[in-house]
Amino acid sequence: MAQVIADRRDVDFVLHEQLQVGDLSKNKRYAEFNKKTIDLIVSEARNFAIKEVLPTQKIGDVEGCKLENGKVAVPECFHRPYELFREGEWLAMSEDPEWGGQGMPKTVALAVSDYFNGANYAFMMYAGLTHGAGKLIEAFGTQAQKTLFLRNMYSGKWTGTMLLTEPEAGSDVGALTTTAVKNEDGTYTISGNKIFISSGEHDLVENIIHPVLARIEGAPAGTRGISLFIVPKLWVNPDGSLGDFNDVVCTGIEEKMGIHGNATCSLALGSKGQCRGHLLGEENKGMSEMFLMMNEARLLVGMQGFACASSSYLNALNYARERVQGKNLLQMRDPDAPSVPIIQHPDVRRMLIKMKAYVEGMRSLLYFVAFCEDKVHTSDEPAEKDKYQGLIEVLTPVAKGYVTDRAFDVCSEGMQVYGGYGYIREYPQEQLLRDCRITQIYEGTNGIQAMDLLGRKLGMNRGKPVMDLLGEMNRTIAAAKATTGLEDFAARFEKAVNKLGEVGMYMGATAMSPKVMSAFAAAHPFLEVTGDVVMAWMLLWRATLAARHLEKAKKKDAAFYEGQIKSADYFINAILPITTGKMIAILGGCSAAVEISEEAFGGK
């Protein structure tokens, strides 16, 4: 059975019917990206993903990466698609053409990423991290630094990473011990050890550019004293030629549960005292600068988790249509009744519609966040720019945290549809489940995403981004109320939105009270209910559009549009009542998690 990675009809629906991305071409910035051009780009990406990248997924998982004498070899099958990826100029799709980018809308680039990550996201991490590292240099680098590094990175000739984590400084980045000492020539001598570095060492390219967080001698403790540095694997001379090895040594690669095709490295910087770096941006501003990359990376991680879920759903759907097992429930007593495809069994259909609803809602959410970024770039009104930037800020922890939580659930359901075969390596479902799991942990664990939503985003700009988000939801409610057949869905969703507003007020007040610990113990449940309401919003938005097209639709499109309405029906009537129960529980203010003594946890 051929593995599937993304539903083209659904991709087109979100791009052209929900977000109407082609209209961005009315702005000078995106003038060349009309609907026809967008469709050609997505088609080319889909073909490349299926023909060149997807075949490497299982092979890369089985072969993994190998470390020998400080050098890492990636799976051999990665080399050809990487070179083709470079030739296609896919790495910097939405970046400035001055530095080798294609200047396309972020939403279109995300649709391309949907296919690429669905094909093999362990492979795509080498490019994804490079893009993020390049953005740091583009945003904070000097002209000389941009000239020296940026075009080589955006072309994929060199790759990049992100060096934050240390053995004693994971989520608490401020505890890092890597040091930087200024040299007479303006460079810095870097010394320290970093762990869990994705793509930290490999043989796909000749040079790797590491953005490194370190503390300059005498700088303040904690995050206030952290600076950001450009540390190449091979030193880059002022004329752009490669110099000596820069004392960045891979001391180990992790044996992981998933993403075996990506090298997760431990790196020793300056163990021989010969590691140099360039200061990137200002002294002691490293954390605020790094957040530019981390926000982009968090949306990418949401896409990685989602891509696993999308593939798992489509695999499960095809398997359920083909796998013959058992009689139809209505014919169980007929000894002559034939066995039927398992998609006829009610419990299998329950799993499939649940997976379908989440996958569709997650795709719309991720694309919408990218669309907001496009609107920031194309709007002439400062107030509108601020509105869309605020929506990005408040939705980022949802797009990373909630999406990856639910993506893992979808992958688990996808394995369940296959039954015992889903647990066997011959089939793709178990790898998708393994690969998906890390997305809940890296780029800030989902607990940290929940704390970000509660502690930073809920009260940001006096709550305006949250109010703008609720305003967008209310626009959808009004449209659904005016659409025949969706009135009841709209009413149920409206109650959930109002309840979420009540919970948000309660959580904000509690976080500012003596019960702050109890508030943050409920931060993840708050992220969950926020995500559920956002999913319901996306699905109702989709259903409203589908209902308008259904009567005049051709047979194939009619089935698709009917499916959109049924997804909203299922989520709003089967999932949202559970969400309401969770919101009631949050308002109950249970403090058991913070009141229980350490001894009372037991275990001794």
pLDDT band at 170 (very low <50, low <70, confident <90, very high): low
pTM to 2 decimal places: 0.96
Q: Give the model's pLDDT for residue 53.
A: 97
pLDDT tens column, 558-576 = 999 999 999 999 999 999 9
What would the two tokens of residue 211 be? 């953005």
Quickly tell me which residue has 């070179």 as its tokens.
83
Residue 517 in tokens? 């610990």
Q: Tens digit of pLDDT for each residue in 482-539? A: 999 999 999 999 999 999 999 999 999 999 999 999 999 999 999 999 999 999 999 9
- Report pLDDT for 291: 79
- The contacts of residue 591 (CB under 8 Å, 6+ apart) are 515, 517, 518, 521
Structure token digits, residue 78? 């990665």
Q: Which of these is catalytic: 413, 443, 494, 528?
A: 443
H-state helical runs in 398-463:
403-418, 429-437, 446-452
State the first-to-last Cα distance of the chain, in angstroms, to the nearest integer.
49
Residue with tokens 């390049």, as numbered in its chain: 134
Distant-in-sequence, close-in-space partners of 430: CB < 8 Å, separation ≥ 6: 415, 422, 423, 424
Q: Which residues pair with 190 in a beta bridge?
A: 180
Alpha carbons 309 and 5: distance in angstroms, whole number? 9
Rg, C-alpha atoms of the chain: 25
The two beta strands, 159-160 and 208-216, are parallel
pLDDT at position 2: 64
Q: Write b or e for each residue in 26-55: b if 16 or more Cβ atoms lie within 10 A of its Cβ, otherwise e.
A: ebeebeebeeeebbebbeebbebbbebbbb
Euclidean distance between CA atoms 61 and 120, whole angstroms: 10
Find the angle CA(330)-CA(333)-CA(338) to the nearest 5 degrees: 70
Angle between helices 555-570 and 523-550 (to 10 degrees): 150
**Angle subtended at Cα 377 by Cα 373 and Cα 382, rounded to the nearest 5 degrees:** 105
What integer is the mean pLDDT of 201-216? Answer: 96
For residue 36, the 8-state DSSP code is: H
Beta bridge partners of 265: 197, 253
Contact 529, 503 (CB under 8 A): yes
Choose between 236 and 167: higher pLDDT. 236
Tokens of 166: 């240390």
In this prediction, residue 43 carries a pLDDT of 97
- How many angstroms separate the CA atoms of 571 and 500, rounded? 16
The percentage of residues in the chain with a pLDDT greater than 70, rounded to a whole number, is: 99
* pLDDT of 437 strictly over 90: yes
Examine the pLDDT at 175 and tell me if it is beyond 90.
no
Judge whether 443 counts as a catalytic residue. Answer: yes
Does residue 323 carry a pLDDT above 80?
yes
User: d(Cα 220, Cα 284) in Å, to the nearest integer?
Assistant: 8
404 has pLDDT over 80: yes
Find where tokens 């308002």 sit: 587
Contact criterion met (CB below 8 Å) for 216 and 182: yes
- Please tell me the distance from the alpha carbon of residue 216 to that of residue 227, in angstroms, as a whole number: 7
CA atoms within 13 A on the CB side of 292: 17
pLDDT score of 295: 79
The structural domains of the chain, ordered by start, are 8-154 (1.10.540.10), 159-286 (2.40.110.20), 454-604 (no CATH)
The per-residue pLDDT of the chain, averaged, comes to: 95
Give me the sign of the Cα torsion angle 31, 34, 37, 39.
Answer: positive
Position 555 pLDDT exceeds 90: no
Q: Length of the chain in residues, anyone?
A: 604
Query: Using one digit for the tens of pLDDT, what is the confidence trace for 89-135?
Result: 999 999 989 898 999 999 999 999 999 999 999 999 999 999 999 99
Over residues 184-202, the mean pLDDT reads 96
Distances (CA, A) of 168 to 135, 145, 171, 172, 393: 27, 31, 9, 8, 29
Model confidence band, residue 604 (pLDDT cutoffs 50, 70, 90): confident
> In whole angstroms, what is the distance from residue 314 CA to residue 479 CA?
30
Band (pLDDT 50/70/90 cuts) for residue 294 is confident
